[in-house]
Amino acid sequence: MKKTVTRLADGRELLYFDAHDGTVRDAVDRRTLDPVASASEIRHDPLLDESVAIASHRQGRIHHPPADSCPLCPSTEAWQSEIPAPDYEVAVFENRFPSLSGDNGRCEVVCFTSDHEASFADLTEERAALVLAAWTDRTAELSARGGVEQVYCFENRGTEIGVTLAHPHGQIYAFPTVTPRTAAMLRNALVHRARTGRNLFDDVLARERAAERVVLAGEHWTAFVPYAARWPYEVHLYPHRRVADLTGLDAAARAEFPRIYLELLRRFDRIFGPGRPPTPYIAAWHQAPVTGPGRDEFALHLELFTVRRASGKLKYLAGTESGMGAFMNDVSPESAADRLREVASS
């Protein structure tokens, strides 16, 4: 893998990731841009002991642009995008409208391919491996920055999720605090260790691998619908060897990941039958905090889920979920696992 680091016209960092060392990336951003003016602020909620980012400047961000003026496509003579090169493999750049910035963290955009009409599921295994390498590189670099407590790599796909740019891409947030879900998992892992002497994530993975909800299993990864799934179709993907974050994966796990993950995404697109719109989803990497007690107890894993519960029907977070954080699932985890096995690639 070759990484090329350059700058956009307003000073933001842009990184190209290429599979071959001989690739040259020397395109210059020819736009005239004002400096980024972000005003993110972290406020603390004392009742829940949680942090909230206030980022009112994001109201002016780009919203559903036409394909010929997509900011994530390669630049052309007629259109100068966020990526000056006429083509690229994987590109990462600082978000111009970040939710987190300065002392309050950093937000990056990850473009998986230059093909505007593609999706992650359309990538080759080589390209998926390059995305994994980019995620790993950014996790390592952002974790080393002062003030960063957690690095979160994720993809939102589909307008139903709230995506405003159709080009296949994800994001990376470097948080100045530990996120609420991670903090809760860590607390429970430490309690489990004190009570049993065992690791909570190891026990969960062992239980799920022995259950009927395994969707896909390889030599180094297992994907399963969790026993208490919150979403209609929700899959958790774990490496068999517990590591704290993406930087800890060994060569064997990295080599197998593209095949497992691409098959999982392709099954998601077949859940609701042929001819249906692409399945909206969120793919979220859960990584350990950069420092602090319990880091060694945490297990890297990916959670993939959709808000679609049936063809043409969405799972809305209404009174119980949004108001009280109490989830009610309309689809049994066992039937969801059955369906995800039914739609396996032939």
Task: Provide the annotated active-site residues.
Answer: 169
For 153, counting Cβ atoms within 10 Å of its Cβ (0-12 exposed, 13-18 middle, 19+ buried), the class is: buried
8 Å CB contact between 48 and 122:
no
How many C-beta atoms lie closer than 10 Å to residue 338's C-beta?
A: 14
And the tokens for 40?
């993110």
User: Tokens 């190209």 sit at which residue?
Assistant: 16
Crossing angle for the helix pair 125-143 and 251-268, to the nearest 10 degrees: 120
Nearest to 297 by CA among 208, 190, 209: 190
Contact (CB, 8 A) for 114 and 88: yes
221: β partners = 239
Q: How many CB atoms lie within 10 A of CB 77?
A: 6
Q: Which helix (H) or strand (E) segment is 169 a member of?
A: strand 169-175
Residue (of 93, 83, 138) closest to 114 by Cα position: 83
Question: How many angstroms separate the CA atoms of 333 and 242, rounded?
Answer: 24
Q: Are 314 and 281 in contact (CB under 8 A)?
A: no
Q: Which long-range contacts (CB under 8 A, 24 or more apart) does 76-83 make?
A: 80/29, 80/30, 80/31, 82/8, 82/14, 82/109, 83/14, 83/111, 83/114
In a 13 Å sphere around the CA of 111, the CA atoms on its Cβ side amount to 31
